[in-house]
Structure 1
Amino acid sequence: MSPLNSTNIHPASFILIGIPGLESVQHWISIPFCCMYLLALLGNFIVLYVIKAEQSLREPMFFFLSMLSITDMILSTSALPKMLGIFWFNLREISFNACLVQMFFIHSFTAMESGFFLAMAFDRYVAICNPLRHSTILTNPTIAKIGIIVVCRGVIFFSPHVFLVKSLPYCQTNVISHTYCEFMALMKIACAERYTSKVYSLTVALMIAAFDLLSTAASYFFILWTVLSLPSKEASRKAFSTCSSHICVILVFYTTAIFTFLTHRFGHNVPPEVHITMANIYLLVPPTLNPIIYGVRTKKIRQRAVKVFYHIYQ
C-alpha cells in the first residue's frame, strides 16, 4: 500500500501492479499477450485494406466490419502497450489524467464493439429476412448514421465515468491491483462513498449489454426461423455459413465480457489473478479472433487477402 497525504485528493499518478500473485511469471505471460496484440493489429489492418481495395466489398456488412476492425485496434491499443511496459520494463506508474483517458477509451470502445456487433446482426437480418429491401433500408447514409449513433452512445454513456472518478478522493493508496485503469478497480481504492458511482456504472453496463445482446439474439432467432423455412438446402447452407462467423465472434466477445463483468462486481471469491487474467484476455481475444474468423469464413475477404500476400512475396 502506498500512503498518500490526506490533503491530496488526487494523486499525481497511480501504480499499476500488473497481475497480483503472478508477478514472477508476468514476463512469460507477456509473450502470448504480445503475439495476440500484434496479430490483432495485423489482422484488422488486412481486413481494412482488403475492404478498401476490393470494390465488390462495398456492402453494408463490410462497412460495419471496417468499423469493428477500427474499434478493435483502438480498444487493444488502449491497454496493451502499457501492460507490456509493466511486464517487460516494470513501468508501473501512470499519471492521473492518463489513467482517466485509458479508462474512458477501454469502456467506451467496448460499448462501441457491442454496438457494431448488433449493427452487423441487423444487417444479416435484413439481408436474409427481407432481401429485396436490403439495399433500400441499409443505404450509405443510414449506415453512416448507425455508426455515428454507436460511437456517440459509447462516448455519452461512459464520459460520466471520468467525472465520477475525478470527484472521489484517493487519500489512502494510489496502488491499483490491475494491469490497466478499470472503473471498478479505481472505485476500490477511493476513500469516499462510492454507491452512486457504482450504481451508475452497473446500470449503464447492464442496460447496454442487455439491449445489444437481446436485440442480437432476436435478430438471429428470426434469421434462423427464415433459414429453416427456405425450400432450397443450398440456400439454407449458404445462409448458415454466412451467419456462423458472426455468431462465433459474438459468443467470444460476450462470454469473456460477461465473465469479467460478473466477477468484478459479484465474484468476491474469485482469485484476483483469475479475474485480471480474464479481463486482459477479454481485451485481446475478440480483436485477435475477429479478423481471423471473418477472413476464414468470408470468401471474398479470404480470396483478396491471398492475392495481397501473393503479390507481396512475388
Structure 2
Amino acid sequence: MRPGLLPMELGIVHRLFGTARGADGRRLYAVVTCAPVPGEITTDTDFTINVPCGPEALEGADTVIVPAAVEDYTPQKRGQLAAPVRAALARIPDGARLASICTGSFVLAAAGLLAGRRATTHWKSCEELRTLYPEIDVDPDVLYTDDRGVLTSAGVAAGIDLCLHMIRSDHGAEVANTVARDTVVPPHREGGQAQYIEQPIREPADASTAAARTYALRHLEQPLVLEDLAREASMSVRTLSRKFRQETGMTPIQWLAHQRLQHARRLLEQTDEPVDRVAARAGFGTGTAMRQRFRETLGVSPRAYRHTFRGTARRHAPG
C-alpha cells in the first residue's frame, strides 16, 4: 500500500481472495497487506488504514497486487517511483505473479515490469501510459490483461474482473463462480471498457459543416449519402469532405457512423424498443448491421449493452 490509497481497491482484493474456499471449506489464499513503510497509511477518503507489515512480507509472496493511489492520478508524479516503493518491489521473488488495479499499472511500468508486455489501465490514462512507456503494448479496450504472469486491470471495478480471473486460473470456474455469487457480481463481464467511455466529438461553434451535421442528426434513420450532406452545406462533396476532416477529425462517413452508434446507445439505455427497431431509428438498416458495429466498436452486443446500462438507469430512476 502507498499513501493516498483507494480503499475500494484494497477491499476488492481482500473480499474476493479472502472468501475463496476449497471443497473442504479451507481458505485458498492467505491475504497479507503490506506497505513500504508500515504504520498508518492515508487514503483518498477521510479515514486512514493501519498496515502493520512492511516490505519484508513480499519476500514470500506468490502473488503481489498493486492498487492505485492518489499519486497515480497526478501527471507530475507519473513515471516516478519513490525509493521505498522501488526497494519494496525488489524484494518480490522471481516467478511471483504481479498484478495492478487501475492506475497501479504506472507503478509496474515505472519499475520496468511491463516492458514488452500487453497491459491496460483506466481508459482516461491509457494514452499517457502509452506515451510515457512506448515499450508497453497498451490495450485501452479490455477490462484486464494477463501477459506471462504480469496482469493489469482497467478502472477500479475492473479489479473485480481481474481478481476473479486469477482465482479462475488458479482453482477453476466453480470456485470463481462461487466467489462471484457470494459477492453478488457477475463471474464474467462481456466486452471491455470501451462500452463505458463516452465518446463525444468536438463541434466547433463556427463550423462551416454545421448545417450538414444538423441535417444528418435529424435524419439518421434515412440512408444518407454524401450528396445529401453537401447539398445542405451548399458545397461540393470534395469541399465537404475536406471541411469535415478539418472540423471533426473524421470523414463524413466516419462521423455519421459514430453518430448512429451514439444514438443507438442512447435508445438502448433509455427505451425498451426492440433491437431491430433501434437499428432502424439509428440508421443501421438492420439489427445485424448494428450488432456488427457494436461488436467491432464496443466489444459487446446491443442486447448485452442494454442489459448493463438500461438496468443501471432503472435502478437509479427517481421514485
Q: Bin the TM-score by the shorter chain.
A: under 0.3
Q: TM-score normalised to the size of structure 2?
A: 0.24
If each structure's helix is expressed as a fraction of its own residues, which one has the higher value?
Answer: 1
**Structure with larger Rg:** 2
In the superposition, the TM-score normalised over structure 1's length comes to: 0.24
Q: Which has the higher contact order (CA 8 A, sep 6+)?
A: 1
Greater strand fraction, Structure 1 or Structure 2:
2
